[in-house]
Amino acid sequence: MSSEAVDEFVETKVQSHHREIVNTLRTLMKECAPEATEVISRGSPAWQQGRKILAIVSVSKTHITFAFARGAEFEDSFGLLDGVGKTTRHVKLKKPETMNLEALRDYARQAVRLEQE
């Protein structure tokens, strides 16, 4: 489910050259996490299932960070996840054409699966 607040965020806070990345992530999350709701959490677009955040997007001048709240628990067969904390892992995305959609779908599905357990 998309959100007007997230639509506004993308239009006003995401640089034009990064909008395609964010919109691709939104489409991917609709596909992989159809029960999740798009929300603004801690000032950034996120996907929430029940009371738990599955994933969040952070915007910087040079890239988009797609972070998973329980990413440290993922099986990372693609080797793309970064981070050293106890729970969260992320992927930095710089160009739409270099996004590994297969990996991102796998991570999104793992996020949903973990919240359903």
Give the model confidence (pLDDT) of 5-52 as tens digits. Answer: 999 999 999 999 999 999 999 999 999 999 999 999 999 999 999 889
Return the biggest CA–CA distance within the chain: 38
pLDDT in tens, 41-51: 999 999 999 88
DSSP string, 6-33: HHHHHHHHS-HHHHHHHHHHHHHHHHH-
Domain ranges across the chain: 4-116
Which CATH architecture is the domain 4-116 placed in?
Alpha-Beta Complex (3.90)
| Model confidence at 62: pLDDT above 60 | yes
Tell me, what's the pLDDT at 2?
59
Q: What is the pTM of this model?
A: 0.94
> Can you tell me the distance from the alpha carbon of 117 to that of 114, in angstroms, rounded to the nearest whole number?
5
Average pLDDT in the chain:
95
Average pLDDT over residues 59-84: 97
Pick left, alpha or beta for residue 56 (phi over 0 → left; psi -120 to 50 → alpha; otherwise beta): beta
